[in-house]
Chains A and B, each alone.
Chain A
Amino acid sequence: MKTIALAVAAAFAAAAYTGSDALAQEKTVRISGFGAKTGVIRLFGINSEAAMLAAAEVINKQGGVTLADGSKAKIVVDFLDDRCNAEEGISVIRRIYGSDAVVAVGPTCSNVAEPLYGILQKRVDDKGDSGLQMPVFTDVAIKGGLAKISEWSFRNVPSEWTMYSSLYYWLKAKHPNLKTVYGGVEEDFAHSRASWYAVMKDRALANGYEVMGESKWLLNDSNFSTQVREMKKANADILSVAAHPFTTCGLLKEMKRQGYKPKLLVGLTSTSSMEVMQGCPKDVEGMIIPTSYAPVNKEAKFAADQTAKYKGSADLHSMAAWENMFILKQVMESERISGDKSQLQADRRKIRDGLAKLKETKGLLGVTKRTEDREADKPYLFVQAQKGEWKVLHNPL
């Protein structure tokens, strides 16, 4: 009897030991992604989710995140759909806030990011501000200057201002005979509009180009005959197109029909994707775009391969999501989050403070500097559409 009792006690002790080990292995930290997963730009959301899942798998295979007590936790990723709609985005972030997620990564669209940041607490420790206290680390929404809206918002997106400044400067040096620029802009899409008026046009003027005007269309337009005629009349040396793949392809095809070919084509950052290569590979030949991602080194190729396993493709947007995951792992460990659900808000605050402290992070193309207003100064290069692929044309760094 005594022997049996001892054996049972030993069995319980062993189970408790392995049980606690199993419990430690089951510790998880949730990171919630969100972005457009439905609608015509669902590809952005699909790619970001794939990159986040792939990065989480790599991190978890390496043991996961080290918590304050020295134990390890696996990263769990979920991804919510905001349909590129501001109201839905706000609803989604509130849902994420109510969950056990320690940080949110997203959104896809600038028209979601701007109002979403607006409902976050503007200044930390401001007791009079009842805004959400949730760190949001954006991967895609690229319209300039948004992160300064709230001290809980951070972005890992390239500065289009810096990239186009550098691009026009380089073009001026490389092609001194090209003196004039004409624009084409999607008027009803926040990113396109901001990129032309506040960035491309401004930077072209700053680099000594004469900007002869711009033609406008809407995101859903399918007839570009009037716009191309305007472009032909202007007859500028460089055509800068601030538009997304569907209308970019429609415009380029109309240009071909009307026999209009400018000396140089410059495109929008978001156009340097496979969508354009599938929609109009021949017509986009020669277009130059600045981008913060290209598979030019081992890390970048590895990230692309891992993301492809989750049926996503690598571009400057999805690879920012990949980078975000590793930055967050670093921050969670340096700030020693507890991973304890009862201390969720404290952990969120630690992550926010950790992101705010960062001066630089490691990106796929090199070191990314963090700015005072919680934006990123990312390395970039220029790619050109050549024979159905985006090839690196010039590395300014």
Chain B
Amino acid sequence: MLDFLQVVVDGLLFGATYALIGIGFTLVFGVMHKINMSYAAASIGGAYLGLLVLKVMAGAPAWLVFLCGFLGGGALGYVVYLACFHFIPYSSPLATLMSTVGMLLLIDEIIVHATEGRPLNYPAMFDDVMLRAGEFSLRGDLLLVFGVSVACMAGLLILLYRTKLGLATRAVSQQPTAAQLCGIRIARVNAVTFVITGLLGGIAGALIGASVGTLSPLLTLPLTVKGLIVTVIGGLGNVPGAIIAGLLVGAFENVFQLWRGVTERDLYVMLLLFVFLVFRPGGLFSKS
């Protein structure tokens, strides 16, 4: 029983990073009704950009690396918007999908070339802290990951529901034409959406790197898949859904691994996705 509880808690804590990745996918879909397949790759790219701080200032504190990852992710988000969405006609969803797939491969390959595929040490905060209660333990760094993720999600929800920018974003996602008629500049809203999701992605990438302790381009494809699963389970365009779905996927992943082993784990995660697609295609909080 204790093993099961430990596994679930570890999964929930790690799932907070999946939630951040899922939010990025779902927010872009919600605003533009398009999927940005390069989001996870850009998140990891942001994390790598954070490591540039160590080139300038050896021994820089971890929080500075995270901050640079956060900002680097935002910058990459804007680049992705310009390259894959801004100049492509709105009426060509397939074109934007393919361009983001291309961007995913490009970012992945740039990372591999820049690092020669070598895993890089990634600084962490509180990685030497372990809260114990008998056999049960909680990792200090994962608690930080969870805490920062929750703070980011809260910040995003406040931005979306309590600010003019958020109002504009929701207006564009609901009725782009009407929003335009009201004087909202769609291109500006879309660009800001990408920067915001990029910032979230950058911090997600940095937190993932910190929780693993090593950053590697091997992370981009599995995170892309997890992000898409979280987006579908949470409901396309549903930010609170993506948050809950991320935590659930993290927990279920660990539970499946405990019950069925690592070779069958991903099988069951995919089955979970199919169950939702068949019985609840609108996501966790859909009405049907």
Interface residues of A (CB under 8 A from B): 38-43, 46, 187-188, 216-223, 225-226, 229, 245-246, 249-250, 253-254, 257-259, 274-275, 278-281, 283
Contact = CB atoms under 8 A, between A and B. Distances in A.
Interface stretch (B119-127, B165-173, B272-280): B119-127
Contacts of A275: 118-119
Residue among A40, A217, A258, A259 with the most chain B CB within 10 A? A40
A226 B257 contact: yes
A284 to B, nearest CB: 11
B263 A187 contact: yes
5 contacts: A38-B112, A40-B216, A222-B219, A246-B214, A258-B130
Interface residues of B, number: 37
B44 to A, nearest CB: 11
Given A223-B10, A258-B130, A43 B222 contact: no
B100 to A, nearest CB: 20
A250 B213 contact: yes
Nearest to A252: B213
B119 A246 contact: yes
B208 A279 contact: no
A195 B275 CA distance: 37
B61 interface: no
Given A222-B211, A229-B6, 20 more contacts: A187-B262, A188-B263, A217-B262, A220-B221, A220-B222, A222-B222, A223-B14, A223-B254, A226-B7, A249-B121, A249-B213, A250-B212, A257-B139, A258-B137, A275-B118, A275-B119, A278-B121, A279-B118, A280-B213, A281-B121
Interface of B: 3, 6-7, 10, 14, 109, 112, 116-121, 127-128, 130, 137, 139, 141, 208, 211-214, 216-219, 221-222, 254, 257-258, 261-263, 266
Contact of A253 (B14, B130, B212, B216): B212
A298 to B, nearest CB: 28
A221 B225 CA distance: 13
Contact of A220 (B127, B130, B218): B218
A39 B261 contact: no
Given A38-B109, A249-B213, A257-B130, A226 B254 contact: yes
A280 B214 contact: yes
Instruction: Name the residue among A219, A246, A281 with the largest chain B CB count within 10 angstroms.
Output: A246
A257 B127 contact: yes
Given A40-B216, A220-B222, A257-B130, A245 B118 contact: yes
A41 B120 contact: no
Nearest to A254: B213
B113 to A, nearest CB: 8
Contacts of B222: 220, 222
A216 B218 contact: no
A171 B3 CA distance: 34
A40 B257 contact: no
Contacts of B7: 226
